[in-house]
Amino acid sequence: MTITIKDDVIFEEEIKKSRFICHLKRVTTEEAAREFINSIKKQHHKANHNVSAFTIGDHQEIQRSSDDGEPSGTAGVPMLEILKKRELTNLVAVVTRYFGGIKLGAGGLIRAYAGSVNHAIDAVGLVKIVEQTQLDIDMDYGLFDNVSRYLTSAGLAIADSVFTEKVVITVFADTAELEQLKEDLTEQFHGKLELTIGDKKLVEVAI
C-alpha cells in the first residue's frame, strides 16, 4: 500500500509580501520528477527561488531535495520532511517564491516552505493505493442470498454475478487479506464454495 495525493494541485499563499506557490504532482520515477521541476523553473523563471523535494517508491526509497538558492536547510529539507512525516510517496513538490522585500529569517523560511506543502496536501486530499485480487465464488443457487449478505457485512462489494447452472459472484479483496477471506468463506459455508483467484489490480481509496 502506498499513500499519495488525490490529484495534482497548485496552492498559493502570501507570507510577509512574498508569494509562495506550491505545485504538487504525482510521479513514479525520478526522471519524471526532475522533468516537472525543470518545467516549473521554466514557467516561473522570473521567480527568486523554485525549491523542490520528492519521494519515489513504495517505501520512499528515493528522496531528494533542493534549496535552490535559499539558505541551506531552510527550504528543500523542510519540504521533504513533510512528505516523509506524512508517509507520502510518488510525489514531487515545487514551491516557487517571489520575494516581497521582507526577509523571513531561517525559522520563517522553514515554516513557510513546510507550511506551503502541508497546506497544498490538505487542500487536495490523499488516497491510498492498494493492490486487490479478483476472487470468483462458485456456488449453488440456495447459497446465493447468504453469501451475498456475508460479503456485504464484510465490506466487500460484489463486482459481478453470473447465473447459469450455478451462481458465480466476483469480488475484489485486498491482496494482503485474501487468504484470510478464503479461510473465512470456507469455514462459514462448510466448504461448499468453489473459490478461484483471478487478476490483480491497483485501486485508489480516499483517506
The C-alpha cell 476472487 sits at 135
Work out the number of other CB atoms within 10 angstroms of the CB of residue 192.
14
124, with CB counted inside 10 A (0-12, 13-18, 19+), is middle
- pLDDT in the model for residue 35: 98
User: 33 lies in which domain range?
Assistant: 2-124
Same domain, 159 and 178: yes
**pLDDT value at 205 more than 90:** no
Q: What is the dihedral of CA 114, 119, 121, 125, to 10 degrees?
A: 160
Q: What is the pTM of this model?
A: 0.82
Q: List the end-to-end C-alpha distance of the chain, in Å, as a whole number.
A: 12
Same domain, 94 and 142: no
Same domain, 55 and 111: yes
Element containing residue 12 per DSSP (H, E): strand 9-15
Residue 26: which CATH number? 3.30.230.30
Q: How far apart are CA 7 and CA 174, in angstroms?
A: 23
Same domain, 142 and 53: no
pLDDT in tens, 65-97: 999 999 999 999 999 999 999 999 999 999 999
Number of domains in the chain: 2
Work out the number of other CB atoms within 10 angstroms of the CB of residue 113.
31
Same domain, 139 and 65: no
Same domain, 158 and 101: no
